[in-house]
């Protein structure tokens, strides 16, 4: 499972080259990393099937970078990478884990304060030397200190997208063992959470010994934590732990229910079972007082026996799902097949890795009925944003793309909400676009009151279609901004602004919990993939996960229904 390792190395090479003031190459390495990060299969499998030529067929990966990826796959390391690290003597990778610290700032810190590592940075922050540097100041110093604290205290969790290739591989490998009837992933992954601490699997087999032997010898296993007759645990080289339970067919539903969780949901189910004179555990549902087994083959069988409607795993968070089930008011959750296309896609006009036409053609291949282009507009320099001068050329090219594909192509921008709540483009210009996504990218350290006022001003005073990744978080990197969500959701609802459910793996924003809160006050939603590469267009499944965790149905989501219906809702 080399994707994460390849992405890590390529991105760090890009950072080091930028530190060395090398032109063009940093962008090439980052684009290659972006491609690998967006793959839905393991890059090692791509290489295994097609060799070096298969790697070169991936978008943004030429011969030289393909050979470096090949070296990582074959040897687990890259000599060029080790050479670069020795040249600069700075822990770029460690420092880059701190939110707000890019190559340019790292270079200034090194040149002026001799900061080589996270430990050096902590010392400089404690003596308040960073605030005195030109281009930093007290606010930047405070943000870096918060980022440092977050880095030191955050629990080790893996993005859903990082865990996905392992899930696919384990299901395939264990499913191929003779005697295995079912292989299912459970835990927080099955509930669609944006990050997971570990993975849990439940397998049905009459020959658990064969299953365990295969399990502990999976590729990339670094450590066997436990090996038993029906229970085993392993840890992969990246630190991801996986627990396996092998059960009999009659126990499968009860085991799956138990291991999917969450804990609070299970407690409430067990309370209900006792109230109805049953006892429920991972082995089945038993009638009291004789403890006679009555159900357990399927989850539905258990729920039905207890007088409940089946609850999808994404709902099992003890957020009112039992009451809704008993009252016959469970939502009919959104499914991927209900979605006709996705908003929030970037191209080479800003910081994307593909042309407008390439993105639209790939969307059509995936079966989308529409695509919305929303390249950056505003002062975020790192994103190579559109300017007023370049906007006309961008819109003309979108018109040309419309003539070359068979799907609806919406024009638009992702525009920065400035510190004072204003947008850097006139209302007249914004009204000429099909989809305006307004997002927070700058001044993210404002207090709750100021940030809430800023966002509400933008929502109330501009023709905004979608409020993009509303909490501006980056999973495992940056905490969400401080904001009164109740106030923002109320204003968005009143103004008819759709809230984005962003499927980019490091965003997953809004998260399911906030989606449900916003849904309950009447908000409507738009699913975005925040795609910067053709491979990212498949991030829609992650947005759907968050939507389902937020109890959303087709009627709640702009992306559903006919294209004509979507056009009408946009025009409003």
Per-domain residue ranges of the chain: 3-153, 158-247, 266-326, 336-571
Q: Report the CATH architecture of 266-326.
A: 2-Layer Sandwich (3.30)
Cβ(411)–Cβ(429) below 8 Å = no
**Topology agreement, domain 266-326 and domain 336-571:** no
pLDDT score at 155: 67
Six-digit token pair at 435? 């989809």
Selected residue with higher pLDDT from 18 and 198: 198
Which residues are 193's β-sheet partners? Answer: none
Least confident of 3-7, 15-19, 426-430, 462-466: 3-7
How many Cβ atoms sit within 10 Å of the Cβ of residue 205?
22
**Mean pLDDT, residues 344-350 taken together:** 96
Cβ(250)–Cβ(259) below 8 Å = no
* Cα(120)–Cα(91) distance, integer angstroms: 10
Domain boundaries 336-571, CATH class: alpha beta
Q: How confident is the model at residue 366 (pLDDT cuts 50, 70, 90)?
A: very high
* Cα(531)–Cα(527) distance, integer angstroms: 12
CATH topology of domain 158-247: Beta Polymerase; domain 2 (3.30.460)
Which residues are 199's β-sheet partners? Answer: 242
* Cα(396)–Cα(392) distance, integer angstroms: 6
CATH 3.40.50.970 fits 3-153, yes or no: no
**Nearest Cα to Cα of residue 524 among 377, 340, 375, 334:** 334
Given a cut of 70, whether residue 531 has pLDDT beyond it is yes
Over residues 482-495, the pLDDT tens digits come to: 999 999 999 999 99
pTM over 0.85: yes
**Nearest Cα to Cα of residue 354 among 366, 342, 363:** 363
**Nearest Cα to Cα of residue 370 among 569, 161, 506:** 569
- Alpha carbons within 13 angstroms on the beta-carbon side of residue 340 total 18
**Nearest Cα to Cα of residue 492 among 527, 516, 457, 448:** 457
* Cα(58)–Cα(47) distance, integer angstroms: 11
Q: How confident is the model at residue 97 (pLDDT cuts 50, 70, 90)?
A: confident
How many Cβ atoms sit within 10 Å of the Cβ of residue 512?
25
């Amino acid at each position: 499972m080399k994707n994460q390792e390849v992405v890590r190395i390529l991105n760090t090479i890009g950072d080091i080259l930028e530190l060395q003031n090398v032109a063009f190459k940093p962008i090439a390495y980052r684009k290659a990393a972006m491609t690998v990060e967006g793959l839905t299969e393991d890059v090692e499998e791509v290489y295994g099937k097609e060799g070096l030529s298969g790697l070169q067929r991936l978008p943004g990966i030429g011969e030289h970078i393909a050979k470096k990826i090949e070296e990582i796959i074959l040897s687990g390391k890259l000599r060029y990478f080790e050479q670069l690290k020795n040249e600069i003597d700075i822990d770029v990778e460690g420092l880059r884990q701190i939110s707000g610290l890019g190559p340019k700032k790292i270079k200034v810190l090194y040149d002026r304060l001799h900061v080589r590592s996270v430990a050096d940075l902590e010392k400089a922050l404690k003596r308040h030397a960073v605030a005195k540097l030109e281009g930093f100041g007290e606010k930047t110093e405070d943000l870096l200190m918060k980022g440092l604290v977050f880095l030191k205290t955050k629990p080790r969790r893996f993005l859903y997208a990082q865990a996905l290739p392992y899930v696919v591989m384990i299901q395939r490998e264990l499913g191929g063992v003779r005697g295995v009837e079912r292989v299912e992933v459970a835990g927080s992954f099955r509930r669609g959470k944006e990050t997971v601490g570990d993975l849990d699997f439940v397998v049905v087999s009459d020959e658990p010994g064969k299953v365990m032997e295969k399990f502990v010898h999976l590729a990339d296993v670094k450590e066997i934590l436990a090996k038993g007759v029906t229970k085993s645990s392993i840890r992969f080289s990246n630190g991801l732990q996986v627990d396996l339970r092998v059960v009999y067919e009659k126990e499968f539903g009860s085991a799956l229910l138990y291991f999917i969780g969450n804990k609070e949901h299970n407690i409430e189910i067990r309370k209900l079972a006792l109230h109805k004179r049953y006892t429920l555990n991972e082995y089945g549902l038993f009638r009291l007082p004789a403890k006679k087994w009555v159900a357990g083959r399927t989850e539905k069988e258990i729920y039905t026996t207890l007088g409940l409607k089946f609850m999808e795993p994404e709902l099992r968070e003890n957020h009112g799902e039992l009451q809704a089930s008993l009252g016959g008011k469970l939502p009919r959750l959104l499914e991927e097949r209900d979605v006709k296309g996705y908003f929030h896609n970037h191209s080479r006009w800003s910081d994307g890795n593909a042309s407008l036409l390439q993105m639209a053609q790939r969307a059509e291949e995936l079966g989308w009925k529409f695509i919305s282009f929303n390249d950056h507009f505003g002062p975020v320099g790192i994103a190579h944003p559109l300017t007023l001068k370049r906007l006309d050329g961008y819109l003309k090219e979108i018109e040309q793309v419309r003539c070359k594909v068979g799907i609806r192509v919406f024009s638009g921008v992702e525009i920065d909400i400035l510190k004072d709540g204003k947008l850097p483009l006139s209302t007249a210009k914004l009204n000429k676009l099909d989809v305006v996504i307004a997002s927070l990218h700058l001044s993210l350290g404002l207090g709750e009151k100021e940030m809430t006022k800023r966002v509400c001003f933008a929502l109330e005073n501009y023709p905004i279609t979608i409020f993009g990744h509303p909490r501006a978080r980056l999973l495992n990197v940056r905490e969400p901004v401080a904001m009164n969500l109740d106030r923002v959701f109320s204003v968005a609802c009143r103004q008819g602004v759709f809230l984005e459910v962003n499927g980019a793996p490091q965003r997953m924003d809004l998260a399911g919990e906030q989606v449900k809160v916003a849904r309950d006050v009447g908000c409507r939603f738009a699913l975005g993939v925040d795609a910067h590469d053709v491979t990212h267009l498949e991030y829609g499944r992650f947005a759907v996960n968050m939507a389902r965790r937020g109890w959303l149905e087709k009627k709640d989501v702009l992306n559903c229904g006919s294209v004509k219906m979507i056009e009408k809702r946009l025009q409003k």
